Structure 1
Amino acid sequence: MLAQVGRRMGWAGHFAWETPAAVFREHAALSAFENDGTRSFDIGAMATLDEAGYDAMQPFRWPLPAGATQEGGRLFAAGGFPTPDGRARCVPTPFRGLAAAPDAAFPLLLNTGRLRDQWHTMTRTGQVPRLSEHAPAPAATLSPSDAARLGAEPGGLLRLTSPHGATVLRIAIDPGQRDGEVFVPMHWTDAFTSSGPIDRLVGAAVDPLSGQPELKATPLRAEALPVRWRGLLLHRTATRPEEPGMHWSRAPVAAGHLLELIGAEPLPAEIAPLVDRLLAAPAGAERIHIADPARGSWRFATLVGGQVESCLFLQREGGRAGLPSGAALAALLDGLVAEAARPGLLAGRALAAKPAERNVCACFGVGVATIRAAILDRRLASVAEIGAALGAGTNCGSCVPELRELLRDAHEAAAA
């Protein structure tokens, strides 16, 4: 694949790898190049790994320099830093302002960062359903005052524009967000959303000493967009819609994928072509649907061999029908759908049991309703007591801030 891309670009000699193992061998060789123990990362021993060895490779600790036959033990197990005497080096540098400051054209600052349950670009964490339960879609987070000034509503759409690019994201509002800044998570790519990756909006300025990009202070402007319709698409495959004027985000579920859809443009008068593209049903699939244009509601499902292949629920904004729960909808991909259950299928409840609650603790799968009930029923007064009772917050600790919020909210509600 890389070799083909290189040839098309006219750089065949620079993209000569034919397999992933070939890429890894060069990566390993570069880690050892002119190293001589001066850099901690050295996996030169893996530079000659063949295809079979790469396919069978297990996790290992580095450094593993050329000639090593076994791991050298845990790096920095005794503390210290990778300097000759093991002591840290503090390098004083002069203050440098922002590469580009906000102005009348771009009055806000874009701050990018990570969320607690995702890692890098979600190539692994994005495949795990429970890690997407806490934040299933990327959002642009505004302070309440900025949201009011822009006319932005939670769950609406926001167009962000910087001197380097533009995108459209869902809106979130958080009292803890600083005025004048917009926070957007870094993880979502084109594989998971129509708005990724957010770094397309970030400038190319880097620190002259460390090389660290200026990822947290790009001037931009924001504009709230109208929401014309919303939808949910359940599919067995990781489909990627290419519809203009539509924002989408995809999260994995147990047997497939759930996509949230938001339209900034009205639904077309002839809706069938859009539905066909989104459902992407295989030839011969059985299809059922209910349409109620007067209420602004359309529901479709395709089945193959008695099992749900895809479902599409569309609702005009402001319509009376509403959309089913995404958590309940995910259960529709499990098992066969009997003939008598098919009307319920289009209601989004044919096979769904009690809707799943939103996860707070991803490590132990403890949901928000369970935590709230335990706080009140057992009169829990601290995060430590929640941990002792439910396990939540006792492993990685990422959910501790939300546990504190749940404690405060539950106690305030009880007092009222």
Structure 2
Amino acid sequence: MSQKIKTTCPYCGVGCGVIVSQDERGAVTVAGDPDHPSNYGRLCSKGSALAETLGHEGRLLSPMVDGCVSDWDEALDTAAKGFQRMVRDHGPDAVAFYVSGQLLTEDYYVANKLMKGFIGSANIDTNSRLCMSSAVVAHKRAYGADIMPCSYEDLERAKLIVLAGSNTAWCHPVLYQRMMESKRQNPDLQVIVIDPRATPTAETADLHLPIKPGSDALLFNGLLVYLEQGGERNGLFVNQATQACDEALSAAKSDAESIEHVAAGCGLSVELVERFYRLFARTERVVTLYSQGINQSSSGVDKINAIINCHLLTGRIGRPGMGPFSLTGQPNAMGGREVGGLANQLAAHMAIESAADRERVQRFWDAPAIPQKGGLKAVDLFSAIEAGKVRAVWIMATNPAVSLPDSDQVRRALAQCELVVVSDCMALTDTTAYAHVLFPASTWGERSGTVTSSERRLSRQRAFLDTPGMARPDWWIISQVAQRMGFQGQFDYRQPKDVFREHAALSGFENAGTRGFDISGLADLSDLQYESLSPTQWPLTSSTPQGTARLFGDGVFFTPDRKARFVPVTHQLPRNQADATYPLILNTGRVRDHWHTLTRTGLSPRLASHTIEPYAEIHPQDAQGFGVVQGALAQVESACGSVIVRVKVTTNQQQGSLFIPMHWNTQFAETGRVNVLLPGVVDPLSGQPEFKHGRVAIQERRFAWHGFLFSRRQLQPSGAVYWARSRGAGFWHYEIAGDSTPENWAEMARSYLCSKGHEVGWMEYTDRAANRYRAARFENNILESCLFIGPDLKLPPRDWIAALFKKHSLDATERASLLSGHAPDEKADVGKTICACHGVGEKRILEGIRIHGLNSVQAIADQLKAGSGCGSCVPEIRAMLAAS
């Protein structure tokens, strides 16, 4: 009999419920939870593949001190004494924590409590600074609190959905499915996408505004003026529930003189702008969703307030089917904000600049000190580490050596920092390489606690696996360090439920409705009630025990006079404008099947099959102008650094811009870390970095040879200047290229594929005149590895070769085909993976369209299953149908 556990997905901020089944042999399967109100059984490709990421490959299984295996006592004492020494010798601000939206709320709470209440510094910031901090500031300016007013059900009740800076189909696929299902049931629902790129989301929208990068505030200022001039102001709501409307309108009118002016500034046609404005004006139930395309900007706060202003003017907030809606990036970015995980916050949404709030938190915690001002935000924090102002840093569940802008600066900072402590589940990341103390942390499936989704919904993550090795949960590690620093009584937690109850009690402590975040109704949960806690939205108090679906429907906000604030906004161009040296604008973001820096999704063959290496999308005219071609390798440079990536030529990319994904790290593509290109430019109000507007140049990167190899083992392809690896089903796939041709290909191949003194079966083919080489290594007649080299990009298809690794032996025909580079029959070559959920290749779909007459997405889903899973491949299938 299998055991079933209900838990929550560890990826994006949608917060999908999953049901994990585990049989007697320990085999795990994952399915969507049909009862969870975030997803009702749906899962995206990443969630569906969770079971493939649960192995112990690459795990950190014991504490490490100075590169040597240690035990918990030594590692904890080393960290605690190091922090104590820094505080004693240099003051509390010499210590910093850098934490993560991957932490559970209980972990986050203990970390924030230790830093702000007991070390006495506000130098605790989070990687949520990189994705959500502009939304935090905008919400506080408009509402008086960091509150997201909507619910997911508003997406199904809306008549118009505006997606601003959000490739929802790839980044929040389950919400995208809910929207598309709502549209199927209600054809009157209109979807508008505002994005410089023609993303998969834009391709399925009713209207796409390919806006000039960075001009969003101008577009929404123009909308505000249009709504006012068209008589769309909700006078009763504006007069009774808001302040500063006239000031915001005056600023918008000065900024957006006319629709023609807006269209020119946004790079859009007048007709397109007018159509968007008319749809918004005539539709009562409008939800405007914004995500990283808005947030990750040097003026992200103003952009969000420009959006909120439009909803305040029309009163389209707090009622079903309407409101401004922030889509959260990480599974617990909102939970981290609840506990004060940002450097400029206190716990429970209290303000660090408020003396009353500081006194209240200090008293509740019985803490020796609360900092008087905010601490260093992420980019400034690592600058301070390099400058020697911060001498000790504890990094938890994140990889800043890859994810922060100007990531080579982060590496320089960590390399010279006196004490670097890292808590992680993985042994080798770009960041753990700099650690003096490494703590092995438990991860999804092994830990228990809570997370909060984009719609303010608390859900449980529950453990269903034994914790491997000496790994421990983060809350326990932090508590142990705190106790060794002399704070035993205040950190004597036995279980995560102890932390949660304290967190819930603090949210209601001396609150009386003045703070929006309040889960005091959960403060007295019994152990059993905590274990069985159902997904519920806050506020959740004794008077609202079932939670709260949406906020501000009563026109009451959390400002001192309880009225919302319009915020005057003036459109600002991004600070990184293109110039003659760096003529292209760089935009970064996610791909469909990967997550953050690949430490989890990089282990899944299913997820790695869709996008196997870093790439740069470029418009055909730019490709021609800069001399790069489809499939070639190119070097992209900025004032900060350079990368080498594969070229993708597409009209989906706006002319004058490049798009490069954010995910690749040194373990998966040594030259593919895109954040080396981006300077540490931030929004001055939020500190959120500008990830959508870098300045770069691109040129062809010529190589003497190109190749690829497959191996059942991880290899280090020495001699390859470019390499990128991805996980396959039972093998690793490497794309490689080098500058110098070896004198002896066979010697180089054996250095890649063979262990010294190990007898193996070996086949090879050499055409020295054409500079082509192929080799295959066998063990007991099983294909163990193979290598293909050529002078250019004309190399055999990869997919049918990958399929050979599923075979227990290869016959003579298959061996001959392998060296010839031609599939033994055409059906063996299925083409690149389109549907990751069901492993359906491009050629199989094209065959279904052209030969079997499959003429719709539904027909393809019915016959081939492609598109019937998470649905994020549907835009690609639609494009294939259109092209055929």
CA distance in 2, matches of 1:239, 1:149: 37
Query: Could you report, residue by residue, the CA deviation over 1:201-254 in whole angstroms, capped at 9, with x for unpaired residues?
Result: 11111112333210011111111122432211111122233435x212112111
Question: Structure 1: where are the runs of 5+ without partners?
Answer: 16-22, 45-49, 411-416
2:733 matched to 1:258? yes
Q: State the AA in 1 paired with 2:66.
A: Q
Q: Give the one of 267, 283, 301 matched to 2:741.
A: 267
Query: Could you report, residue by residue, the CA deviation over 1:266-305 in whole angstroms, capped at 9, with x for unpaired residues?
Result: 4133435532432243531323322220232212222334
Aligned 1:178-197 pairs, distance under 5 A? 178-197=654-673
Q: State the AA in 2 paired with 1:13.
A: G
- Cα distance, 1:368–1:356 mapped onto 2, change above 3 Å: closer
- Cα distance, 1:90–1:393 mapped onto 2, change above 3 Å: farther
Question: Matched residue of 1:294: which SS?
Answer: coil
Cα distance, 1:108 vs structure 2: 0.9
Q: Give the one of 162, 175, 181 matched to 2:651.
A: 175
Cα contact 1:100–1:219 (8 A) shared by 2: yes
Cα distance, 1:143 vs structure 2: 0.4
Cα contact 2:606–2:837 (8 A) shared by 1: no
- Cα distance, 1:308–1:202 mapped onto 2, change above 3 Å: same
CA distance in 2, matches of 1:280, 1:83: 68
- Cα distance, 1:95–1:122 mapped onto 2, change above 3 Å: same
Query: Could you report, residue by residue, the CA deviation over 1:152-195 in whole angstroms, capped at 9, with x for unpaired residues?
Result: 11111211111111111111100111111111111111111132
- Cα distance, 1:328–1:28 mapped onto 2, change above 3 Å: farther
Cα contact 1:156–1:227 (8 A) shared by 2: no
Structure possessing the higher radius of gyration over alpha carbons: 2
- Cα distance, 1:382–1:313 mapped onto 2, change above 3 Å: closer
Cα contact 1:40–1:82 (8 A) shared by 2: no
- Cα distance, 1:189–1:40 mapped onto 2, change above 3 Å: closer
Counterpart residue number, 1:407: 881
Counterpart residue number, 1:413: none
Counterpart residue number, 1:18: none
2:801 matched to 1:329? yes
Counterpart residue number, 1:299: 774
Cα distance, 1:81 vs structure 2: 6.0
- Cα distance, 1:159–1:354 mapped onto 2, change above 3 Å: same
Cα contact 1:204–1:214 (8 A) shared by 2: yes
- Cα distance, 1:97–1:56 mapped onto 2, change above 3 Å: closer
- Cα distance, 1:272–1:378 mapped onto 2, change above 3 Å: closer
- Cα distance, 1:408–1:90 mapped onto 2, change above 3 Å: farther
Q: Give the one of 66, 89, 92 matched to 1:4.
A: 66
Cα distance, 1:337 vs structure 2: 4.6
Question: Structure 2: where are the runs of 5+ without partners?
Answer: 1-62, 69-74, 84-94, 96-102, 118-145, 147-333, 340-346, 348-438, 452-457, 459-496, 502-524, 538-546, 559-563
CA distance in 1, matches of 2:443, 2:709: 38
Q: Give the one of 329, 343, 346 matched to 2:819.
A: 346
CA distance in 1, matches of 2:697, 2:754: 36
CA distance in 2, matches of 1:137, 1:338: 31
Cα distance, 1:346 vs structure 2: 3.0
Which one is further off, 105-114 or 274-283?
274-283
- Cα distance, 1:332–1:205 mapped onto 2, change above 3 Å: same
Counterpart residue number, 2:204: none
Query: Could you report, residue by residue, the CA deviation over 1:104-161 in whole angstroms, capped at 9, with x for unpaired residues?
Result: 1111111111111111112222222222222222111110001001111111121111
Question: Matched residue of 2:743: which SS?
Answer: coil
Q: Give the one of 708, 726, 733 matched to 1:232.
A: 708
- Cα distance, 1:281–1:308 mapped onto 2, change above 3 Å: farther
Cα distance, 1:61 vs structure 2: 3.5
Counterpart residue number, 2:154: none
CA distance in 1, matches of 2:604, 2:873: 18
Question: Matched residue of 2:450: which SS?
Answer: coil
Which one is further off, 145-154 or 296-305?
296-305
Q: Give the one of 66, 79, 83 matched to 2:500.
A: 66
Q: State the AA in 1 paired with 2:798.
A: G
Aligned 1:12-91 pairs, distance under 5 A? 13-14=82-83, 27=108, 29-30=110-111, 40-41=335-336, 57-58=446-447, 60-62=449-451, 65-67=499-501, 69=527, 70-71=530-531, 72-76=533-537, 78-80=548-550
Cα contact 2:829–2:843 (8 A) shared by 1: no
Query: Could you report, residue by residue, the CA deviation over 1:11-37 in whole angstroms, capped at 9, with x for unpaired residues?
Result: 88259xxxxxxx9986551256679xx
Cα contact 2:830–2:842 (8 A) shared by 1: no
Q: Give the one of 146, 151, 156 matched to 2:632.
A: 156
Q: Give the one of 590, 605, 625 matched to 1:129.
A: 605
Cα contact 1:332–1:349 (8 A) shared by 2: no
CA distance in 2, matches of 1:90, 1:159: 47
Cα contact 2:813–2:824 (8 A) shared by 1: no
CA distance in 1, matches of 2:553, 2:108: 24
Q: How many positions carry a matched residue from both structures?
A: 392
Q: Percent identity?
A: 29
Cα distance, 1:385 vs structure 2: 4.6
CA RMSD of aligned residues (A): 4.1
Cα contact 1:331–1:351 (8 A) shared by 2: no
Q: State the AA in 2 paired with 1:314.
A: I
Q: State the AA in 1 paired with 2:625.
A: R
Aligned 1:238-253 pairs, distance under 5 A? 238-243=714-719, 246-253=721-728
Question: Matched residue of 1:182: which SS?
Answer: strand
Higher helix share: 2
2:674 matched to 1:204? no
Instruction: Give me the TM-score of the superposition, normalised by structure 1.
Output: 0.79
Cα contact 2:771–2:790 (8 A) shared by 1: yes
Query: Could you report, residue by residue, the CA deviation over 1:298-338 in whole angstroms, capped at 9, with x for unpaired residues?
Result: 122223344333211111228xxx53321122234332356
Counterpart residue number, 1:414: none
Q: State the AA in 2 paired with 1:79.
A: A
CA distance in 2, matches of 1:393, 1:40: 32
Q: State the AA in 1 paired with 2:647.
A: I
Counterpart residue number, 1:47: none
Which one is further off, 393-402 or 101-110?
393-402
Which one has more relative contact order, counting CA pairs under 8 Å at least 6 apart?
A: 2
- Cα distance, 1:149–1:273 mapped onto 2, change above 3 Å: same
Question: Matched residue of 1:406: which SS?
Answer: helix
Question: Matched residue of 1:299: which SS?
Answer: strand
- Cα distance, 1:316–1:119 mapped onto 2, change above 3 Å: same
Counterpart residue number, 1:375: 849
Q: Give the one of 690, 693, 715 matched to 1:214.
A: 690
Q: State the AA in 1 paired with 2:803.
A: A
Q: State the AA in 2 paired with 1:57.
A: E
Instruction: Give me the TM-score of the superposition, normalised by structure 2.
Output: 0.40
Cα contact 2:626–2:699 (8 A) shared by 1: yes
Q: State the AA in 1 paired with 2:110.
A: A
